[in-house]
Chains A and B, each alone.
Chain A
Amino acid sequence: MNLFRSEEHACTWSGFEPEMADRMLKPLAGWADIFSNDFFRQRGRPDYLSWTRSKDGQAAFAKLRADLS
């Protein structure tokens, strides 16, 4: 889960696997959007682990999984 200066740099990295590129190669703004999910935004709340098991938490995680699939 790394950042690269450009798509070309990512594709020439020694760890690049082309079959993952369709889903897992995105501009920074795309990853920043995915990591704006409530699953990440809510981490600072004092009941975070409980929240992840709540209806809202499960909905956020379902959206995250969908965004990553």
Chain B
Amino acid sequence: MTDLAVLDRAYHSILTQIIETAQAPHYTEVAKTLGVFPEEAKAVVREVIESTPGWFHPGTDYLASFPPFNVQPTQYRVSIDGRPGWFAQCGFEATAIRWLFPGRAVRIEAPCLCCGDQMVIEMRDDEILLVDPDTIVGYTSAEVGGDAANRPFR
């Protein structure tokens, strides 16, 4: 089991890179940040993901989801102060992206899964600036974060 301080550094470096570039680092890049060999970093990144509600693309070591973000495109397109490029892991996590961009406008654009028509949400810190249409709801047929027994941070 990796030292918690190392996991903190790895988590923070991955999240910071996604915040800054909308792209996740490869584990070899995390290795440079941590000052370790790539194989060690690969194991550390795996441990980080096991501690979060994120995941790899199946059968690979490529980060696919690192909440609140998704690295693979989803229907939840996110712009920060008008700059596009990010994707939210899901509609609910989309509302949490603002906490990683304090003082900045977070715009979420997504099609409705029922009709395909566009929805737009804008948030800045604690303010919800726009909800269009104002009838938008969130729904899931699954438990948030997965089944209780397997939920990270339980």
- A and B physically associate: yes
Q: What residues of chain A lie closer than 8 Å to B119, measured between beta carbons?
A: 3-5
In the complex with contacts A40-B99, A44-B15, A61-B153, A5-B140 CB distance below 8 A: no
Does chain A have a CB within 8 A of B105? no
**Beta-carbon contact of A28 and B8 below 8 Å:** no
Which of B68, B76, B91 lies at the interface centre, i.e. has the most chain A CB atoms within 10 A of its CB? B91
In the complex with contacts A2-B113, A17-B141, A35-B133 CB distance below 8 A: no
Bound-state Cα–Cα, A40 to B116, Å: 29
Q: What residues of chain A lie closer than 8 Å to B5, measured between beta carbons?
A: 47, 50
Near B by CB (< 8 A), chain A positions 20-53 give 20-21, 24-32, 34-36, 39-50, 52-53
Bound-state Cα–Cα, A20 to B139, Å: 9
**Beta-carbon contact of B96 and A40 below 8 Å:** yes
**Beta-carbon contact of A49 and B114 below 8 Å:** no
**Beta-carbon contact of B100 and A3 below 8 Å:** no
Q: Which of B4, B12, B136, B145 meets A28, CB within 8 Å? A: B136
Does chain A have a CB within 8 A of B59? no
Bound-state Cα–Cα, A7 to B145, Å: 22
Does chain B have a CB within 8 A of A66? no
Q: What residues of chain B lie closer than 8 Å to A34, measured between beta carbons?
A: 92
Bound-state Cα–Cα, A3 to B12, Å: 28
Q: What residues of chain A lie closer than 8 Å to B110, measured between beta carbons?
A: 3
Q: What residues of chain A lie closer than 8 Å to B145, measured between beta carbons?
A: 68
**Beta-carbon contact of A16 and B128 below 8 Å:** no
**Closest chain B residue, CB of each to CB of A42:** B99
Does chain A have a CB within 8 A of B7? yes
Bound-state Cα–Cα, A10 to B119, Å: 13
Q: Which residues of A contact B (CB under 8 A)?
A: 1-7, 9-10, 12-13, 15-17, 20-21, 24-32, 34-36, 39-50, 52-53, 57, 61, 68
11 A-B pairs, CB-CB below 8 angstroms?
A5-B133, A6-B135, A6-B136, A9-B137, A10-B114, A10-B137, A13-B139, A28-B136, A43-B68, A49-B48, A68-B143
